[in-house]
Amino acid sequence: MSADTEQTRPRSSSLPVTKAVVPAAGLGTRFLPATKATPKEMLPIVDKPAIQYVVEEAVAATLRDVLMITGRNKRSIEDHFDRAYELEEALAIKGDDERLRSVRESDGLAQMHYVRQGDPRGLGHAVLCAAAHVGDNPFAVLLGDDLIESADLLRRMIEVREEYGGSVVALMEVEPEQVSLYGCAGIEPTDEPDVVTVTDLVEKPAPEQAPSRWAIIGRYVCDPAVFPVLQETPPGRGGEIQLTDALRELARRKPEDGGTVRGVLFRGRRYDTGNKADYIRTVVDFACRRPDLAAELLPWLREFVDRQGAQQG
């Protein structure tokens, strides 16, 4: 094989997973006007911006190098993961150690890096913007709209990548009428009950065209072979370059060409914060499980629901 062909051929990487990529360039139009001047990633889940939970999950899964794909209007994300000297000094003078700790929590969390997407041409395009930073390393992708209760899922996905090579997606079984909201996978079992081989992927299929009810939730571990594939991936669903389409191509390739995709079956708790009703459910759920809020909130919630029921009935 000539040196030229050797260079352009996509190759699977055997390096460990140490980097996380977090796409955060979306316009957040579903939450307007709140997101007119504030990134949707900064909307609080109780008292912490949604994006901080995602970075905490990456760090808990040992990924301390976090690249955020941002765009216009996203400066406050960078500020959030940086020191805030004036605020810290004011809290220190007051002796408010608890708040000082909470303010400092986000700045020492991870090694944060930022790159701008420019044209918002879809999730696949956002991931492609990570190519220079990621290089030949396999890497995780965490979508900010999905909050996963523990880092066990991501840890398991990294383990599966180390065991099988290739790429790994997180899959959750959804109701048939919901498949059109997700990327859906055709799957075959492996010897491990929580791991499947992905044979096909379709982005947001009509229920009758879905290969199964197993939907991709926003966690991926990608082989760097995904980058040259993304470069060649034409716009798909919604006229956008879809990560799902690039992964379908990798699912069809041989391992030596960076191919094979596995799925880790997830049966835990996942929160969607991408639309208003789910966002509100997530905030209420998180608040009710907080020891400092539950005692006050739960009796009020019960009473509120009873009152609503009485009014409607």
182 sits near ligand G1P (criterion: CB under 6 A): yes
Stretch that binds ligand G1P, among 155-163, 214-222, 289-297, 304-312 (CB under 6 A): 214-222
Q: Tell me the C-alpha distance between 222 and 21, whole Å.
A: 10
58 sits near ligand G1P (criterion: CB under 6 A): no
Stretch that binds ligand G1P, among 108-116, 187-195, 213-221, 247-255 (CB under 6 A): 213-221
146 sits near ligand G1P (criterion: CB under 6 A): yes
Stretch that binds ligand G1P, among 66-74, 75-83, 132-140, 215-223 (CB under 6 A): 215-223
22 sits near ligand G1P (criterion: CB under 6 A): no
Contacting ligand G1P within 253-282 (CB under 6 A): 274
77 sits near ligand G1P (criterion: CB under 6 A): no
Q: Which of 128, 133, 192 is nearest to 157 (CA)?
A: 192
217 sits near ligand G1P (criterion: CB under 6 A): yes
The alpha-carbon radius of gyration of the chain (Å, integer) is: 21
Cα first-last separation, the chain: 76
The residue whose Cβ lies closest to ligand G1P is 183
- Counting residues that bind ligand G1P (by CB under 6 A) gives 14
Q: How far is the CB of 167 from ligand G1P (least distance, A)?
A: 13
**Which residues would be at the binding site for ligand G1P (CB under 6 A)?**
123, 143, 145-146, 182-183, 203, 215-218, 242, 244, 274
